Structure 1
Amino acid sequence: MSRSITGAAAGRPRRRAAVAVATLTAVAAGLGVLGGGTAAALPRAGSAGTTGHGAAPAVTRAGLDPALVAGRGADVPFVEQEAEHAVTDGTVIGPGRDAYTLPAEASGRSAVTLKPGQYVEFTLPAAANAINVRYSIPDAPAGGGLTSPLDVTVDGKNHRTMTLTSQYAWLYNLYPFSNDPTADLTHPDWWVTECGCVPNATTPTPVFAKPFRPNHFYDEQRLLLGRSYRAGDTVRLTVPAGAATTTVDLLDSQLVAPPKVDLVAANVLAFGADPTGRRDSADAVDRAIAFARRAHLKVYVPPGTYQVSRHIVVDHVTIEGAGSWYTVFKGHQVDLAAPAADGSVHTGVGFYGKDASAGGSSDVHLSGFAIEGDVRERVDTDQVNGIGGALSDSTIDGLYLQHTKVGMWFDGPMSNLRITGNVIVDQIADGINFHTGVTDSLVSNNFLRNTGDDALAMWSEKTEDARDTFDHNTVQTPVLANGIALYGGTDNTVSGNLIADPIREGSALQVGSRFGSEAFTGHVWITDNTTVRAGTYELNWNIGLGAIWFYALEKNIDADIQVTGDDFLDSTYNAIMLVSDFPVKDLYSITGVHFKDIRVDGTGTSVLSARSKGGATFENVDARNVGAVGINNCGSFNFPATGSEFTVTDLGGNDGGGTTGPWLAPWELPNTITCADRPAVVAPPAPTGW
């Protein structure tokens, strides 16, 4: 199969650097520095030392009042409640946005830490028979994770115990990261910001605190409650005596429908599949697929946990589970005796189309099951993704994917794939990546949280992705890189998405000429999206990014790019950024970008940061609570007497501003140099209705 290279191009790993590293003690205690803005426009129902019962539920979306993000993101079947708004006798940590801290990786940038004997209690806002807990517990001292119990009661009854784990969390060191908290620098020849140097080029080599750059702290666990409970009932999570200190980020609750039954199908049980998970079921599933294709039937997988520790190859087949809460494919990561032709050194559970070089697969329809992998390290050449290969004229709907490397990674050419209604969480790398020549395909109404790289990406390496759409998806807390990223391509659309809380070395939306991608051609439409608490700090450059940022690293960006109807809420630094890397600043430019009908509510620094030559137009861009000068225009840093190399064109209707006056001041047009490399950050107030 083709190589599945997440985020960084093969042989050219993206540079990794960081702000001052937190110690393990600081991370465990959640001691982050406030990085701008409050967690949400909602009051807390409880905080440290608070006791009580039945507090009014504070329902959020992306850590905000749902009214502030109405119409954006996925229509999900669950309700989100942040722990910091619940009743608790634990300690509320955050808000904070500094990388390598527990608050920074929490939804809403805040959470609740519980010691043994302490609890957090949520009041159900609607009927529910299932919950999902997002949490963090410490790593084992030598790495590798540990397990710890968490008690669950509803109205003081129906006691159940969840077994939490940190085996899929806690990564360390430089990209592509380590599971060893005691490791020395894995790349002493790389530039790092902790010393502002290349460590092995200095004498003596700087000593760095260990563990170095801890990250990826959180995991999730689902639980069926055994019966339905009413709105107003209370779910209490208690850390029992002797258990590990536990940080609870949020609770999702939902009313799960009964299992789906399909009697007119090839039932995998009839072919020897084991629903207890004791025996491997891969061969049985293969037999069911072969029979179903001959008999022109669907494959049905009834409730159960099915052990599968290799790829299931699919082509011209429909596979339906009883629902993602009931039908689970679970597998171990398996060491290969020798590296595969594609460079993989492991295999694991996953459903794969045939490789594009072999013609790919088509007419594949997957729905109603979960894939739970066992991936605990990042090996970029490994094909250990939940869904992979090439799938044309196919659909993927209603899956739950957890603990694989990438939820779905597709190597084209391929076309007409529809990905809808899936939940993808706790990935080591990307959520969904369209890699190389994926065309006329749709990713819509999916929910993604805690990805270790871009949550959604179109990567036009060697061949353009074309006429693809990412529409009405919700992305929360991508730990590394971007919520949604486009690397080259033509006539692609990003619309109606909700992206919240990117953590480091990326932001909510990126349009980038990098990683060997083909040029942007034709049109790019970025419409009606909302970003929340984005505009992160770029640790390699030591500057703040934009909630949306354009990056000309390897080619000009000069397609017709329309950014229309988007909302940028509570941006940590800038709302909008256009940048070229300094070594290529005089080679590449960014032109043809048009901003219209934009709302900016809160920036730590500017509305626009321009660090490239080129230009952009602005029409009806309204801003408020802007922390610094509205436009930070450095151009390409040559500072000619004629003005900045980046031209700002005012098409009218650009209103509002902040502490320094109107954001688009007349004296800043068309190309006035207003360059401050690291302007002071003014934390904005929480977003409110426009």
Structure 2
Amino acid sequence: MPSSRILAALTAVAAISLLPAPAVAAPATATPSPVTRAALDPSLVAGRGAAVSFLEQEAEKARTTGTVIGPGRAAYTLPAEASGRSAVRLTPGQYVEFTLPKTANAITVRYSIPDAPAGGGLTAPLAVKAGGASRTMTLTSQYSWLYNQYPFTNDPNAGLLHPDWWIAECACVPAQTTPAPVISKPFRPSHFYDEQRLLLGRTVAAGEKVRLTASSAVPWTVIDLLDSELVGLPYVNLVAANVLAFGADPTGKRDSAPAFDKAIAFARKTKLKVYVPPGVFQVNRHILVDDVTIEGAGNWYTILKGREVALPAPAPDGSVHTGVGFYGKSAADGGSRNVHLSGFAIQGDVRERIDTDQVNAVGGAMSDSTIKGLHLQHTKVGLWFDGPMTNTRVEGNIIVDQIADGLNFHTGVTNSVARNNFLRNTGDDALAMWAEKTTNAGNTFDRNTVQTPVLANGIAIYGGKDITVSGNLIADPIREGSALHAGSRFGAEPFAGFVKFTNNTAVRAGTLDLNWNIGLGALWVYALDRSIEADIQVTGDHYLDSTYNAIMMVSEWAVKDLYAVPNAHFKDIRVDGTGTSVLSARVAGGASFENVDARNVGAVGINNCGSFGFTPAGSEFTVTDRGGNDGGWLAPWLLPNTITCDDRPPVVAPPAPSPWLP
């Protein structure tokens, strides 16, 4: 829709009860739901993203007596935060029913239920009928529903947290306006969804039904999707330091943190691994790890669950809470080495964003280490590493429902890899490298899947040297971010060497930036603190159904005459659908394009504003045609630096992505 209509949609969100809209009735006889990836036919994203053990089915494609909401992309609405930008709304007694594509004994349901009127969340049962068996899943909104301006609040009735900040909805600074503008409450509700896992207690054959029926405990229940899988038997290690032998309680009634400390100390002395058997283990603080291997029975069976605990006084790092998590020693204390964590779940209790808090599932500094097969939920950040540290592998994890980032390589992380991880519903960048104070170098984000980051970017690179982002699948970023981002910002060290974006797929990306009130790109390159002079190589990426632009290269207005992006190269790119342009250039510099094919482009192929000097010589941004660019988007008359600047071009929603024929 045009940008003016998007802004109007944002200003219209005034109450929780208005969120499940727009809506259309869905017939009870709808075709059984297909298997999707990022809400698309899997063939459209083949070879991209994480290899996972579950199959995804979208509720809006399932059989239901409820109402389909969406599709819609306006921030602060339930459709926008849903996978595929659409979901199903159930009132009490209504159901959504999925046909299992393969045999399964476990499901994950992504859902939303209302917040309490004063905040704090509600709980409600959800009836689950799987084959001939009936179970009950308990839903909660205690970990969802944030409001207001950064760093957000749990109070839907709160006034502005920062009355002097720019408010995009009214294009004003309230403190400088007399009288102050009226801001509807709840203001900017977000982070609506959560998810629950359930072992069904039996094997349900392919072709059988899983029906989810809403209860009367809440006025509505929104179901986004169902993941189903066949979970194997628990892993057993008999030759290990079993935490039960040191007093751990698998019922979760007693605090097991001291038992973990004892087991780790014994394992280090005897050169054994630590084994955590099936059970729920209460852990309410950090477990310090160094030179140790800790294995669970599998993340469906071994669960570490803890409360967020207020500290009697702030810690030296500024934390005012602690909570469940495994932490390496701080880099100032030499960091930890040879830490290997696998096969368990960590479930935190973080309900508000406090940036000084170290309440992450995994943290500290860990060199020569591996983190594999974990399920991380309801912590602030899934994994936040503070270097310097080197040679760490983060592989095959599921990271969901975080208040902030999913994973962050922060400060001096080198030669490390995050590969084959699945991330959904992060409250900030899902995967980030932040070279603050000390540069990051030689790191790779490879074949990860990122879905529905509520704020900021799917994958963000803030400074660093020789960085690779390859084979990832990123879908549905919600606001103020992109699928892929390279930014000289947040005080990061300069980019150097190369930054490679290779064979990634971005789906329904390129959000509205509320500070600028302009649309971003699926790939967003941002020169804020300094020029980005590294060799930016973008090869083999696919940008599908971009809300605004496929590619945006930009600088801040205040520094537009100081910084540039001079060295970007695009090759073998496919662009299938943009709301506005293939390239939006709002910075000095230049880029080359070779074999970049585009179709279903909403406005002009290149929206070239340069640094807004509008000189007689043309734009300060130069486009180089290296041949093979199909689709008519890079017309000869646009080269090399023709000014085609439209600050806010009209948005034309593209058709859904389809197979790209040779």
Q: TM-score, normalised by structure 2?
A: 0.97
Partner of 1:322: 297
1:76-134 CA deviation, whole Å, 9 max, x = no partner?
00000000000001000000000000000000000000000100000000010000000
1-structure distance, mates of 2:208, 2:612: 60
Q: CA deviation at 1:52?
A: 3.9
| Alignment-mate amino acid for residue 540 of structure 1 | N
| Alignment-mate amino acid for residue 234 of structure 1 | K
Partner of 2:651: 681
| Alignment-mate amino acid for residue 101 of structure 1 | T
2-structure distance, mates of 1:139, 1:286: 38
Structure 2 stretches of 5 or more lacking a match?
Answer: 1-7
2:380 to 405, 420, 429: 405
Q: CA deviation at 1:666?
A: 0.4
Which structure 2 residues correspond to residues 179-194 of structure 1 after superposition, within 5 A? 179-194=154-169
1-structure distance, mates of 2:127, 2:189: 27
2-structure distance, mates of 1:519, 1:26: 46
The answer as to 2:590 corresponding to 1:615 is: yes
Partner of 1:13: none
The answer as to 2:21 corresponding to 1:30 is: yes
Structure 1 stretches of 5 or more lacking a match?
Answer: 1-16, 33-46, 657-661
1-structure distance, mates of 2:477, 2:455: 7
Partner of 1:476: 451
1:428-478 CA deviation, whole Å, 9 max, x = no partner?
000000000000001000000000000000000011110000000000000
Please say if residues 579 and 601 of structure 2, whose CA atoms lie closer than 8 Å, have aligned partners that are also in contact. yes
2-structure distance, mates of 1:432, 1:598: 27
Please say if residues 189 and 201 of structure 1, whose CA atoms lie closer than 8 Å, have aligned partners that are also in contact. yes
1:73 to 46, 49, 53: 49
Q: CA deviation at 1:29?
A: 2.4
Please say if residues 18 and 194 of structure 1, whose CA atoms lie closer than 8 Å, have aligned partners that are also in contact. no
1-structure distance, mates of 2:636, 2:26: 52
Partner of 2:4: none
Instruction: Please tell me the root mean square deviation across aligned C-alpha atoms, in Å.
Output: 1.2
2-structure distance, mates of 1:372, 1:255: 22
1:147 to 113, 123, 143: 123
Partner of 2:74: 98
Please say if residues 20 and 79 of structure 2, whose CA atoms lie closer than 8 Å, have aligned partners that are also in contact. no
Partner of 2:149: 174
Could you tell which deviates more after superposition, 186-195 or 313-322? 186-195
| Alignment-mate amino acid for residue 587 of structure 2 | S
| Alignment-mate amino acid for residue 473 of structure 1 | N
The answer as to 2:418 corresponding to 1:418 is: no
Q: CA deviation at 1:21?
A: 5.1
Q: CA deviation at 1:561?
A: 1.0
Partner of 2:505: 530
Q: CA deviation at 1:57?
A: 3.7
Q: CA deviation at 1:26?
A: 5.3
Please say if residues 149 and 243 of structure 1, whose CA atoms lie closer than 8 Å, have aligned partners that are also in contact. no
Which structure 2 residues correspond to residues 189-228 of structure 1 after superposition, within 5 A? 189-228=164-203
1:124-176 CA deviation, whole Å, 9 max, x = no partner?
00010000000000000000001011000023x31111110000000000000
Partner of 1:378: 353
Q: CA deviation at 1:18?
A: 10
Which structure 2 residues correspond to residues 101-112 of structure 1 after superposition, within 5 A? 101-112=77-88
Please say if residues 13 and 19 of structure 2, whose CA atoms lie closer than 8 Å, have aligned partners that are also in contact. no
Q: TM-score, normalised by structure 1?
A: 0.94
Q: CA deviation at 1:261?
A: 0.6
| Alignment-mate amino acid for residue 24 of structure 1 | A
Q: CA deviation at 1:495?
A: 0.1
* SS of 1:329 mapped into structure 2: strand
Please say if residues 308 and 331 of structure 1, whose CA atoms lie closer than 8 Å, have aligned partners that are also in contact. yes
Partner of 1:665: 635
Q: CA deviation at 1:577?
A: 0.5
1:83 to 28, 39, 59: 59
1:552-589 CA deviation, whole Å, 9 max, x = no partner?
00010011110000000000000000000100000100
Q: CA deviation at 1:27?
A: 4.1
* SS of 1:67 mapped into structure 2: helix
Partner of 2:3: none
The answer as to 2:313 corresponding to 1:343 is: no
1:280-315 CA deviation, whole Å, 9 max, x = no partner?
000000000000011110000000000000000000
Change (3 A) 1:26 1:622: farther
2-structure distance, mates of 1:671, 1:141: 55
The answer as to 2:417 corresponding to 1:451 is: no
* SS of 1:20 mapped into structure 2: helix
Partner of 1:240: 215
Q: Which has the higher relative contact order, 1 or 2, with Cα contacts under 8 A spaced 6 or more apart? A: 1
* SS of 1:583 mapped into structure 2: helix
* SS of 2:19 mapped into structure 1: helix
Q: How many residues align?
A: 653
2-structure distance, mates of 1:398, 1:27: 39
Please say if residues 32 and 61 of structure 2, whose CA atoms lie closer than 8 Å, have aligned partners that are also in contact. no
2-structure distance, mates of 1:526, 1:590: 16
2-structure distance, mates of 1:423, 1:31: 31
Partner of 2:540: 565
Could you tell which deviates more after superposition, 242-251 or 256-265? 242-251
Please say if residues 268 and 288 of structure 1, whose CA atoms lie closer than 8 Å, have aligned partners that are also in contact. yes
Q: Which ranges of 4 or more aligned residues in structure 1 deviate by more than 2 Å?
A: 25-32, 240-244
Please say if residues 81 and 252 of structure 1, whose CA atoms lie closer than 8 Å, have aligned partners that are also in contact. yes
1-structure distance, mates of 2:286, 2:495: 34
Q: CA deviation at 1:189?
A: 1.0
Please say if residues 114 and 218 of structure 2, whose CA atoms lie closer than 8 Å, have aligned partners that are also in contact. no
Q: CA deviation at 1:242?
A: 4.0
The answer as to 2:255 corresponding to 1:285 is: no
1:537-565 CA deviation, whole Å, 9 max, x = no partner?
11110000000010000010011110000
1:520 to 495, 500, 504: 495
1-structure distance, mates of 2:13, 2:142: 21
Partner of 1:20: 11
